[in-house]
Amino acid sequence: MNPLTCIITDDEPLAVKLLESFVTKTPDLQLLGSYTDSVEAVAAIKEKQPNLLFLDIQMPDINGMELAHMVPQETRIIFTTAFQEYAFESYEVSALDFLLKPIRYGKFLAAVEKARQWFGLTAAAEAAASAENTQQQQGPTESQPAAQTVFLKVDGEYRQVAFSDILYVSGMKDYVMFYIEGERKPLITHMTMKAAEELLPASLFMRVNRSYIVALNKIRSVDRNDCLYIGNEIIRVTDAYKEAFAQYMQTKTCN
């Protein structure tokens, strides 16, 4: 994977210097610029399109939360602030992480590693989708078998999981839990639900609400309230996903 690029935006020069020193000693992390002025930062971010933005929240002119809404979708945000009360709000703009000042290098490094995982998984999902599209255009061949497994980073190591063993996936903030058939505890990894949705084949899995993706062939029953029974879990199909699920059910139901 190529080095991650980043921009630092903080109105405190000492905070900028500290983050610059952290970037300098972090392998495969490239600094594209540092800005104490939020207006200048917006222009630089749009021009340079970094992978990561280390962003303070309390700044003059444009505060961090406002600036976050101006950042291109491809740039992921790691907030840096002295105010813990902003933590919940940071997840509303899909921040990758939230670093509380004074920032220690270990916490900084962990946030960068989380970003590496996010970009790695996103790239893998895009590559898999591209390969699937190519295979569909060319037709099935013996040399292009469909992927049957996925590697998940769990507790510092990569665990290979067969798609056929996954019951459902549940998301909470920046963590995703994969529930595996025959295992008591889920596999927990740093990932967004969007990345998980892109990683799992659409022919086998479907998102049915904001927090759940289900394995379609693991659904035991569906009740009149659009509740799905999978393993020991009851999962509700919410309004935003009912139409797509109803279309799937039409293809599987004999009237």
pLDDT tens, 119-133?
A: 876 666 556 555 555
Contact call for residues 211 and 193 (beta carbons, < 8 A): yes
Strand, helix or coil for residue 219: coil
Task: Give the Cα separation of 205 and 166 in Å (integer).
Answer: 9
Strand, helix or coil for residue 142: coil
> C-alpha 143: how far from its chain's center?
31
Amino acid found at 94: S
Rounded mean pLDDT of the chain?
A: 85
Contact call for residues 237 and 228 (beta carbons, < 8 A): yes
Q: Under the phi-then-psi rule, with left for phi > 0, alpha for psi from -120 to 50, and beta for the rest, what region is 85? A: alpha
**Residue 144 confidence class, pLDDT cut points 50, 70, 90:** very low
- Residues of the chain with pLDDT > 90, as a percent, come to 45
**pLDDT at residue 9, rounded to an integer:** 96
Under 8 Å CB-to-CB from 230, ≥6 apart: which residues? 167, 168, 214, 215, 218, 219, 220
**pLDDT at residue 179, rounded to an integer:** 94
Any idea what the Cα angle at residue 23 is, between residues 20 and 28, rounded to 5°? 155
Sheet holding 221-222, edge to edge: 221-222, 227-230, 233-236
**pLDDT at residue 251, rounded to an integer:** 85
Under 8 Å CB-to-CB from 124, ≥6 apart: which residues? 199
199-243 tens-digit pLDDT: 899 889 999 998 999 999 999 999 988 999 998 889 999 999 999
Q: Of 2-11, 43-52, 167-176, where does mean pLDDT reach its minimum?
A: 167-176
